[in-house]
Chain A
Amino acid sequence: MKWITARRRHPLAGYVVVILALALFGVGFAALAPTSDEARAQTLSAEAPSPEDVDAANGKTIFDQTCASCHNYDGSGTYDEDGNVTNGPDIREVGSASVNFQVSTGRMPSMDPENQMPRRDMVMSEQDLADLIAYYDESIRIDGAGADIPYDVPGTAPQASDFEDEDAYQAAVEEYEAEYDAYIEGADDVDMGMKLYLTNCAHCHSWSGGGGALTDGRWAPQIHESTPREIYEAMVSGPGAMPMFSDGVISPEEKQELISYVKTLQAEPDAGGIFALERVGQVAEGFIGWTIGLSLIIACAIWITAKQRAHD
């Protein structure tokens, strides 16, 4: 401690303390902050799960336990006398794409029906979700209303934890990546994808897919983590404040162009420098221009005028 005591009045001591404190906070925050390594479940089959693989009875148990308190046992929702939704809306005609989107992105079951749900990890296993969807299609859904799950669009990547051995996992990853690349590269009209995205999506999700603020305290989520299938499902089901873009409005081929455009853009490296400012754009640039650019130059001005000899 003597070493510190002797130097605590050193002119640079203050700066050292500040730097150490900042480092401590930075490291501490990094240690405490939730990591974004999301545990992704595995749905990669390009086809719907076959009836032998799913258990609708298990699906009913899950539905009654986790969904029915808001959406009612028959999926008809909960409403007051005036017809306003109290807890959850009628889901009999939303379609299985909507169910898959809401549950697989962790938005349902909702912890607070009053508020918009953020994206989080799915609360149930992949198998449970398949069972739930089987039960929904069989018993809740009326006349196959709404959109089906687009099984031919790539979903989430396989997770190592779902596989017994490393080889099976590697094989699954390769299969998934081939499927993913085939879907993304299958689109070849960048202009169409760009125009569709910038005309229909960017005014909420922003040009980079970074999301943005909406009215009434809601927000358009960022779509960096969204899989092509989730984007597709969101378009055909119109979750929350988002309008529905059915296959009649934007055809599946156009949707592929659009999804390909935004996923390719997101994967694009930042040519302009290692600090891309999260692609926030001008607000971040102005902030950096003042706080780093101008401040450094002014600090230099202070430095070069501080030293002066008597006769120079």
Chain B
Amino acid sequence: MSKTTQAPKALRGVGNYIDDRFHLAKTGEKNLRKVFPNHWSFMLGEIALYSFIILLLSGVFLTLWFKPSMMEVVYDGSYERLQGVPMSEAFASTLHINFDVRGGLLMRQIHHWAALIFVASLVVHMLRVFFTGAFRKPREINWLIGIAIFTLAMVEGLFGYSLPDDLPSGMGVRILQGVMLALPLVGSYISMFLFGGEFPGEDIITRLYMLHILLIPALLLALIVAHFMILWHQKHTQYPGQQRTDKTVVGTPMFPAFAVKAGGFFFFTFAVTAGLSAFVQINPIHLFGPFTPTSITSGLQPDWYMGFMEGSLRIFPNTLDFTIPIGDGYPIVTAVLVPGLVIPGLIFGALALWPFIEQWITGDKRARNVADRPRNAPTRTALGVAGITFYGVLWLAGSNDVLSETFSIDLYLTTYIFRVLAIAGPIVGYIITKRICLGLQRRDRETLEHGYESGIIQQLPSGEFIEVHKESSAESTHVLKEKPALTSTALEEPETDDKGVENPDARKGMGKLRRSLAHWYTKDDVSFEGVEPFRGHHTQDEGH
């Protein structure tokens, strides 16, 4: 270590002045030395944080000129093509931002691209947490906060998309209203309440604006702060390695190294967003034109994060609608209700509940700070891939008309393909992923027993050729050796006690279910028990 040097006098003076009043030196020392594990996948959440900051800043800029009003005006701004066209003030003011405010179009594009990247980074961040088991105790609450942020981000995006009152906005709001109307009993009341009357009414933009710039961002900000504070308190998980245990963290201190990296990373995120915004056109509302209730167009989708809901609406069969025979008959529109609400509910519900389900199955109540390698939790990884496949198929189905046109496939055929894939895809994905995980586990055991294949071919005195296996590095050996065994407390309890009386837990329905789930979750795991590193017959020092 280098010797401690004195800070410059001016700096010391300021430091002492602050410290005498707030006693920050100790807190600062502790937090500035905080250790961050060094791995790119721990930066994914930061992309989301930085995009959110970009969204806040660019959004504030836009509010200076945007008028959230549906009052009809006749456009006479500088965009010649639409002069003389009656439109809402919301649309006219967006045109004003585009063409009359300096840098306005660029800011709008930055806001939009940052939104797309924000939600995308939430997804990859969430997948990293899921596949490495970083949601396990003690981080379940932070996982739930993350799910809430994801859900709110989608709603926030949808409302923002609706504000300019251009053609796609109006169509998006119309679909939103359709899903609301499909709710039994309360649907029409909710719709009338939200729109202040019939669609589109004169209030919806003003109301969505309030939600978009005030309520939901405030909630998001609060949740992000909570997410971050909990993270700060609990620290990151870390990948397995030497000296990395549930009790010790290895990584880079917050100050200066990590702070520099993170600061630089913010500017890189901003650079990519700004670069896209400068060169790639997004949501050209001036080309779309204002929304009128009679306008409709093909080839238009919601932003990508709503794509899976659009897709589930598109492929869900309409033959399951039925009418409850009360009075004149009360229709239940399952073709909208199920894909519009039940399927997203299932996806997000399953995500939120998974940490608790897994904990219930395994009975694992210990705090876990070392991340799982995805292969070492084959059932969880396979379920995750099944989920991604389901989501991905729905997402693709949301663009079925564009796919149909681009690749010259019959539109109806795409619907049938996606229907089959939505069911078969996750199953196939589950099976393949699980097999891959188990294969990787076996290879790990092989490597641990025999060393890695060095690529060196050796001829033995007998004339036989062999490939020389070498011992892995101490780091890899440690990682391989420390593979946790998949167990469940449910399977450890005997079926009967020593007097032959059945275990009451194993007899009841929930107990039985838990036991069979525990069996399903752990049965294929490759055991590393009794494997002694490099004692197999292939390694060099053993001879052959």
B82 interface residue (CB < 8 Å to A): yes
A273 & B261 in contact (Cβ 8 Å cutoff): no
Cα(A298)–Cα(B45), bound, Å:
11
Beyond A264-B81, A271-B98, A293-B120, whether A198 also contacts B279 by CB under 8 A is no
Beyond A212-B405, A213-B404, A297-B269, whether A265 also contacts B287 by CB under 8 A is yes
Question: Chain B residues with Cβ under 8 A from A308's Cβ?
Answer: 38, 252
A216 & B412 in contact (Cβ 8 Å cutoff): yes
Cα(A287)–Cα(B406), bound, Å:
14
Question: Chain B residues with Cβ under 8 A from A273's Cβ?
Answer: 109, 277-281
Cα(A308)–Cα(B296), bound, Å:
55
Cα(A67)–Cα(B281), bound, Å:
46
B15 interface residue (CB < 8 Å to A): no
A156 interface residue (CB < 8 Å to B): no
B410 & A294 in contact (Cβ 8 Å cutoff): no
Minimal beta-carbon separation of B337 from chain A (angstroms): 24
Interface stretch of the complex, out of B4-12, B300-308, B454-462: B300-308
Smallest CB-CB separation from A280: which chain B residue? B402
Cα(A22)–Cα(B223), bound, Å:
44
Smallest CB-CB separation from A292: which chain B residue? B276
A281 interface residue (CB < 8 Å to B): yes
Cα(A274)–Cα(B300), bound, Å:
21
Interface stretch of the complex, out of B83-91, B320-328, B477-485: B83-91
Interface stretch of the complex, out of A130-138, A173-181, A187-195, A247-255: A187-195
B279 & A190 in contact (Cβ 8 Å cutoff): no
Q: Contact flags (1/0) for B260-288 with A, using CB distance below 8 Å?
A: 01001100110011001111111110111
A289 interface residue (CB < 8 Å to B): yes
The 27 sampled A-B contact pairs (Cβ below 8 Å) are A194-B85, A194-B289, A198-B292, A204-B298, A207-B299, A212-B299, A213-B400, A213-B405, A219-B408, A268-B81, A271-B284, A271-B286, A273-B279, A281-B168, A282-B303, A282-B304, A286-B303, A289-B116, A289-B120, A290-B304, A293-B272, A294-B47, A297-B47, A301-B44, A302-B40, A304-B40, A305-B38
9 additional A-B pairs beyond A285-B116, A305-B42, beta carbons within 8 Å, are A189-B84, A195-B295, A206-B300, A270-B281, A271-B105, A282-B168, A282-B300, A289-B116, A293-B116
Question: Chain B residues with Cβ under 8 A from A13's Cβ?
Answer: none
B486 interface residue (CB < 8 Å to A): no
Beyond A190-B82, A301-B47, whether A203 also contacts B296 by CB under 8 A is yes
Question: Chain A residues with Cβ under 8 A from B283's Cβ?
Answer: 281-282, 285
Which of under 10, 10 to 19, 20 to 34, or 35 or more describes the interface residues of B? 35 or more
A215 interface residue (CB < 8 Å to B): yes
Cα(A271)–Cα(B103), bound, Å:
12
Q: Which of A153-210 contact B (CB under 8 A)?
A: 189-191, 194-195, 198-199, 202-208, 210
Cα(A290)–Cα(B404), bound, Å:
21
Smallest CB-CB separation from B301: which chain A residue? A282
Beyond A207-B300, A271-B284, A280-B402, whether A297 also contacts B40 by CB under 8 A is no
A32 interface residue (CB < 8 Å to B): no
Q: Contact flags (1/0) for A107-126 with B, using CB distance below 8 Å?
A: 00000000000000000000
Contact of A312 among B46, B257, B268, B300 (CB under 8 A): B257
Question: Chain B residues with Cβ under 8 A from A219's Cβ?
Answer: 404-405, 408
A190 & B257 in contact (Cβ 8 Å cutoff): no
Beyond A213-B411, A296-B272, whether A275 also contacts B287 by CB under 8 A is no
Minimal beta-carbon separation of B153 from chain A (angstroms): 14
- Residue numbers of A with Cβ under 8 A of B are 189-191, 194-195, 198-199, 202-208, 210-217, 219-220, 264-265, 268, 270-277, 279-283, 285-290, 292-294, 296-298, 300-302, 304-306, 308, 311-312
Minimal beta-carbon separation of A113 from chain B (angstroms): 18
Smallest CB-CB separation from B276: which chain A residue? A293
Beyond A190-B82, A277-B281, A285-B282, whether A294 also contacts B117 by CB under 8 A is yes
B371 interface residue (CB < 8 Å to A): no
Cα(A296)–Cα(B276), bound, Å:
11
Please indicate which of the listed interface residues A205, A292, A296 has the most CB atoms of chain B within 10 Å of its own CB: A296
**Using a Cβ cutoff of 8 Å, how many contacts connect chains A and B?**
206
Contact of B304 among A206, A207, A285 (CB under 8 A): A285
Cα(A276)–Cα(B284), bound, Å:
9
Minimal beta-carbon separation of B471 from chain A (angstroms): 23
Contact of A275 among B85, B279, B304 (CB under 8 A): B279
Smallest CB-CB separation from A203: which chain B residue? B296
Contact of B297 among A203, A276, A285 (CB under 8 A): A203
Question: Chain B residues with Cβ under 8 A from A274's Cβ?
Answer: 279
Cα(A272)–Cα(B112), bound, Å:
12
Question: Chain A residues with Cβ under 8 A from B3's Cβ?
Answer: none
Cα(A206)–Cα(B300), bound, Å:
8
Question: Chain B residues with Cβ under 8 A from A292's Cβ?
Answer: 272, 276
B295 & A272 in contact (Cβ 8 Å cutoff): no
Minimal beta-carbon separation of A243 from chain B (angstroms): 15
Q: Which of B98-114 contact A (CB under 8 A)?
A: 98-99, 105, 109, 113
Cα(A305)–Cα(B297), bound, Å:
46
Question: Chain A residues with Cβ under 8 A from B120's Cβ?
Answer: 289-290, 293-294
Question: Chain A residues with Cβ under 8 A from B113's Cβ?
Answer: 289, 293
A207 & B276 in contact (Cβ 8 Å cutoff): no
B381 interface residue (CB < 8 Å to A): no
Minimal beta-carbon separation of B123 from chain A (angstroms): 9
Smallest CB-CB separation from B121: which chain A residue? A294
Beyond A283-B402, A297-B117, whether A288 also contacts B280 by CB under 8 A is yes
B401 interface residue (CB < 8 Å to A): yes
Beyond A198-B289, A213-B404, whether A304 also contacts B168 by CB under 8 A is no
Cα(A270)–Cα(B405), bound, Å:
23
Cα(A244)–Cα(B19), bound, Å:
82
B298 & A286 in contact (Cβ 8 Å cutoff): no
Minimal beta-carbon separation of A49 from chain B (angstroms): 36
Please indicate which of the listed interface residues A211, A217, A272 has the most CB atoms of chain B within 10 Å of its own CB: A272
Question: Chain A residues with Cβ under 8 A from B412's Cβ?
Answer: 215-217
A304 & B287 in contact (Cβ 8 Å cutoff): no
